[in-house]
Amino acid sequence: MRTTAILLLAGACLSSAAIAAPAPDVTAPIKQFLDGFNTGHTKSAFAAYAGGDVAIIDEFAPHAWIGAKAPQQWAAEYNRHAAATGVIDGIVKYGKPTRTEIGAAHAYVIIPTLYTYNEKGKPMAEEGQMAYALDATKAGWKIRGWTWTGVKPHPAK
């Protein structure tokens, strides 16, 4: 009897491990946002965000956008800032996450980035990192907020 119970318990443990779902890809909305930014597909980029309030921290004024329309307000201010400073062809290259924390309903991801662009005809670069907070939603993982941090812009090599 005891041997049977142990075998049943071991079988149940093995079965649970075998049918466990793969880890969710919390980077999917991050890639969707950045790829949308890089290609100018704002509809796709905005779809990567969670509903409700979103928080964005970036290097250009006013530096913080918070609220349900934060992504759209950030994008509009990015475009104004780029036009005022002569920035064109902005691209964010990104690498694999250097840190990922996944809970049942929330996740935190840091990715290395390289922002390249032309400023008044001069190729520029900024190495940095982006930290993302994500929420698990019925539609999958969505961005709740992000921050950019990086070095001062410098001529690209």
pLDDT for the residue numbered 24 = 73
pLDDT digits 0-9 by tens, 33-74: 999 999 999 999 999 999 999 999 999 999 999 999 999 999
Residues in CB range of 98: below 8 A, 6 or more apart: 110, 111, 112, 129
3-state secondary structure of 128: strand
pLDDT for the residue numbered 17 = 45
Q: Domains plus CATH for the chain?
A: 24-155 (3.10.450.50)
Residue with tokens 């001062």: 152
pLDDT digits 0-9 by tens, 85-118: 999 999 999 999 999 999 999 999 999 999 999 9
Looking at 40-112, list the stretches that DSSP marks H as alpha helix, in order from N- to C-terminal side.
Answer: 42-46, 70-85
Residue 146 has pLDDT above 60, yes or no: yes
Share of residues in the chain with pLDDT > 70 (%): 85
